[in-house]
Structure 1
Amino acid sequence: MALHKLLVDDFYDDTYKLIAIHCRLEDYRLAYLLNKNLDINLERKAEDIDIKYLESSYSFFEWNNETEYITWNLISNVCKKEEDSLSSTGTLFETSEKVLKTFHLISEYNRVDYFIKISDEIQNVNEKLILSKLQAIPQIITSYTVDPLKIKSKDHLIF
């Protein structure tokens, strides 16, 4: 009897463009500026993206442009979480200090604040036009395209 091996990775062939954004704005302010300057309608999803069962969560905005078959996503790359610090027992003073831990959705790009994922079935999105509009926004420090095939943790971008 022949042994057949099924590779699940072969079935996932989603074509999308990924744009990295550096800015210090809150997620809702950035979504507002993107909506205003790119003529899109990003809305916050009810649930954030959780990685490793509530270890870290990332804000998630989405807009489905049904007329052009394009899905826009704005994803936060940074999660800051306050946790109790480890302390030895039996110390004279019981103090519980909090430590601020920082997690990243895509760890290879730990300086990137947000990602825009554009999934288009027809391949009619002009990346250069989008980048020029993004760089015209004064609150955005810089933006550039990222090759999704070179990202090790690209599974985090599957929604």
Structure 2
Amino acid sequence: MALHKLLVDDFYDDTYKLIAIHCRLEDYRLAYLLNQNLGLNLERKSEDLDFEYLKSSYSIFEWNNEAQYVTWNLISNVCKKEEDSLYSTGLFQTNEKVLKTFNLVPEYKKVDYFIKISDEIQNVNEKLILNKLQNIPQIITSYTVEPSQIKSKDHLIF
């Protein structure tokens, strides 16, 4: 009897493009600027991306362009959360607030946002998008990221 082996990794294919954005704007302002300059219609999703039992959450905006079979996502890479820090000095315990920073993609800690472009027929021009992003004065810099090089690429599947 022949033994058949099914490799699940063969079915996973990176069919999306990823653009990193360095920008100090709030997420809704950046989404507005992208809508204006790229001709998008990004809208905030009703639920954020939550990881590690609500340890961190990341805002996500989405637009599904059904005419061109393209889904655009703007994802925050930074989550800042204020937590209580308990430590004791001598006889007394003090309660102090500590600001902790979490990243969706830890390999790119300095990136503020990612644009994920899922296109089925590969008709999105990345160079044109990057040129338009560079013309937005509030964006410091933007560049493409190869999804296959990211160790935590599972965080970008939603």
Q: Normalising by structure 2, report the TM-score.
A: 0.94
SS at match of 1:125: coil
Shift in Å at residue 91 of structure 1?
3.8
Note if contact 2:45-2:62 (Cα within 8 Å) is conserved in structure 1: yes
Q: Which ranges in structure 1 are unaligned for 5 or more consecutive residues?
A: none
Q: Which ranges in structure 2 are unaligned for 5 or more consecutive residues?
A: none
After TM superposition, what 4+ stretches of structure 1 lie above 4 angstroms from structure 2?
A: 1-5
Higher relative strand content: 2
Q: Normalising by structure 1, report the TM-score.
A: 0.94
Residue 148 (structure 2) aligns with: 149
Shift in Å at residue 85 of structure 1?
1.2
Q: Deviations over 1:107-134 (max 9, x none)?
A: 0100000000000001000000000000
Q: Deviations over 1:33-77 (max 9, x none)?
A: 000000000000011011111011100000000000000000000
Residue 24 (structure 2) aligns with: 24
Paired residues, number? 158
- More displaced, 70-79 or 49-58? 49-58
Instruction: Give the partner amino acid of 1:12.
Output: Y
Percent of residue pairs bearing the same amino acid type: 83
Asked if 1:42 is matched to 2:55, the reply is: no
Shift in Å at residue 93 of structure 1?
3.5
SS at match of 2:31: helix
